[in-house]
Amino acid sequence: MQDKELYEELLGIKAPWRVSRIELDARAERVDVWVEHGEGGAWNCAECGEALAIYDHSEERSWRHLDTCQCQTHLHARIPRVPCPRHGVLQVSVPWAEPKSRFTRRFERLAIDVLRECDVTGATRILGMSWDEAWGVMERAVVRGKERKRPGVVRQIGVDEKAAAKGHKYLTLVCDLEQGTVEYVGEDRKQESLEAYYEGLSSKQREGIDAVAMDMWEPYVAATRKHLLGADEKIVFDRFHIMGYLSKAVDTVRKQEHRQRMQRGDETLKGTKYLWLYGKENVPDFRRREFAALRCLELKVGRAWAIKETLRELWHYVYPEAGRRFWKRWYFWATHSRLKPILEAAATLKRHVANILTYFRHRITNAVSEGLNSKIQTIKKMAYGFRNLDHFKTAIYFHCGGLDLYPC
């Protein structure tokens, strides 16, 4: 096989295109390949596909291709332009690259694989490309994936917020709880942020939503009630957020009690903050004996912790009525604990109890959203934070959107 034929195979080039020239610069570790087409023939408009004669050619363009034996390889060609009656004079599509890309399809596939496995800075070093070029690959991949994604019905969604930057800048995330993918990323965490997602759905897609897991953030609740029929039967307040809310109340009790004890010179609660935030099974082995001893003492925070831990049993009930009876017993205990932070937390939960107990109808949590949130936090750290929100949103869709990212 001759060199030209070899590169035609490597580049996936077929008639009427052919390799006309190859140059190797061994010192610069670079290979340049020129491609040209045969005379005559009809060429298709890139917009409508109409077969037309050549009008003229563009200036010579170049595309980065996969390396040849560690030598950077670049493809060069002048692309024909055709005079389309409907779309004007346009460049035709070439088989080795997508429109407006400076890379061949095969190189972009490699770049996408590398970008999925490491941070953008690392990818630029491995691939020998600039930061802007790497982001261009990611942005095209996301646009491509969104265009290919078929508009289907997502039965169960999770709504959560993600801190995007310092200064109370947030993103609103909507996740498909069954597929484990991010379906939508909106700026801020206002009612309008979530409404934009619902408004982008067809009536059939909105009607197909069976359940929505979220925290008790009122703007999200209001947006869901506005756009979904029977929203109050579909909203499920996530148990992890509820337990987190109670954990804050427990910590408030600890702070108050610790302050009172320190005034008397009692350091019993010194250094115990995180012990009271653990679930029983998650206490580190090396602190289990210490924690057991603390729980034997007559501590207010010990009572608060026990109340918090007991509520976890609610989500283990199989029958809804049994769950409701448990809730009433727990609420009575919490409101008679004589611990103000616990009383206030219980009162807040009571106001939202209807959408806590909808769990027994749908049996969903926001665990998938929380898992994606952790993955997004890792992405954010890998990029040393995102000052550009559009870049952050692109990265979320790229890594968590479940999109078909590769060029054809």
Q: Are residues 357 and 256 in the same domain?
A: yes
Separation CA 231–CA 212 (nearest Å): 9
Position 46 in a domain: yes
Position 367 in a domain: no
How high is the mean pLDDT in each 10-residue block of the chain (408 residues)?
A: 80 88 93 90 90 92 93 95 94 91 95 93 92 93 95 94 79 94 94 97 96 96 97 96 96 97 95 94 94 95 97 96 97 97 97 97 89 84 68 92 94
> In terms of residues, how long is the chain?
408
47-81 residues labelled b (16+ CB within 10 A) or e (exposed): eeeeebebeeeeeeeebbbebbeeebbbbbbebbb
The answer to whether 66 and 106 have CB atoms below 8 angstroms apart is: yes
- Can you list the alpha helix ranges (DSSP code H) found in 228-366? 231-234, 239-263, 288-295, 300-311, 320-335, 340-351, 353-357, 359-362
Q: Are residues 138 and 60 in the same domain?
A: no
Helical (H) or strand (E) element with 219: helix 218-227
Domain boundary among 30, 65, 96: 96
Strand order in the sheet with 71-77: 17-25, 30-37, 71-77, 61-68
Cβ neighbours, 10 Å, residue 223: 26
Q: Are residues 254 and 319 in the same domain?
A: yes
Separation CA 352–CA 339 (nearest Å): 20
Position 227 in a domain: yes
pLDDT given at position 383: 61
Q: Are residues 264 and 284 in the same domain?
A: yes
Q: Are residues 406 and 259 in the same domain?
A: no
Position 306 in a domain: yes
Structure tokens belonging to residue 181: 């993918």
Q: What single DSSP character describes residue 347? A: H
The answer to whether 65 and 73 have CB atoms below 8 angstroms apart is: yes
pTM (two decimals): 0.88
Helix (H, G, I), strand (E, B) or coil at 176: strand
Helical (H) or strand (E) element with 73: strand 71-77
Q: Are residues 135 and 233 in the same domain?
A: yes
Q: Are residues 186 and 298 in the same domain?
A: no
Q: Are residues 325 and 340 in the same domain?
A: yes
Q: Are residues 139 and 232 in the same domain?
A: yes
Nearest 5 degrees, angle CA 51-CA 55-CA 60? 110
pLDDT given at position 167: 64
Count of structural domains within the chain: 3
Q: Are residues 232 and 376 in the same domain?
A: yes
Position 322 in a domain: yes
pLDDT given at position 369: 82
Domain that holds residue 311: 239-362
Q: What does residue 363 show for φ and ψ, rounded to 5 degrees?
A: 55, 45
Position 42 in a domain: yes
The answer to whether 81 and 90 have CB atoms below 8 angstroms apart is: yes
Structure tokens belonging to residue 203: 């009536």
Domain boundary among 75, 96, 117: 96
Question: Exposure of 152 by Cβ count < 10 A (0-12 exposed, 13-18 middle, 19+ buried)?
Answer: exposed
Position 47 in a domain: yes
Strands (E), 123-205: 156-165, 169-176, 181-187
Please report, for the domain that includes residue 408, its CATH number: 3.30.420
Q: How far is CA 11 from CA 62, 77, 150, 266, in A?
A: 13, 13, 30, 76
pLDDT given at position 124: 93
Q: What does residue 3 show for φ and ψ, rounded to 5 degrees?
A: -55, -45
Q: Are residues 89 and 28 in the same domain?
A: yes
Q: Are residues 212 and 244 in the same domain?
A: no
CA atoms within 13 A on the CB side of 181: 14
Q: Return the closest-CA partner of residue 93 out of 45, 137, 39, 54.
A: 45
Q: Return the closest-CA partner of residue 192 out of 168, 163, 222, 157.
A: 222
Give the rounded distance of the alpha carbon of 113 from its chain centre.
Answer: 17
Separation CA 115–CA 122 (nearest Å): 8
Position 185 in a domain: yes
Domain boundary among 96, 119, 136: 96
pLDDT given at position 384: 53
